Amino acid sequence: QVQIVETGGGLARPGGSLTLSCAAPGIGFSLYHLSWYRQAPGKEREFVARLTRDGNGETYGDSVKGRFTISRDDAKKTAYLQMNNLDTEDTATYYCNAVFAFNSDLFYWGKGTTVTVSS
């Protein structure tokens, strides 16, 4: 069974930084577009960031633009989400999503990693 595993969540102070990782060793990683989503308690899942398979297309949700950066290392089959200037509103469980570039019906989700931003 394909696994995508997110790590790096934890407690951060407002204004602080965290880096999340998304490891997907069981897929043809370089053939997948990668995205991060998040879901705060009582709220719907929200798009955070996306990076195309060729690494040239980055898009961000309005609430994180200028603060978060998505990247990927295809050799390590890992994606990252660098989060700077964190706010309490960033508190959520963050999920990694991998979508096959040539057939969007093939996709995988991780189980999430929780980020709590609090003073």
> In angstroms, rounded to a whole number, what is the distance separating the alpha carbons of residues 102 and 83?
29
Q: Is the pLDDT of residue 40 over 80?
A: yes
Determine phi and psi for 56, rounding to 5 degrees.
-95, -15
Task: Give 93's pLDDT tier (boundaries 50, 70, 90).
Answer: very high
Cβ pair 101, 35 in contact under 8 A: no
34 and 77 Cβ atoms separated by less than 8 Å:
no
For the chain, the straight-line distance linking the first and the last C-alpha, in angstroms and rounded, comes to: 39
Compute the average pLDDT of residues 2-9: 92
The pLDDT of residue 2 is above 80:
no
Mean pLDDT of 73-82: 97
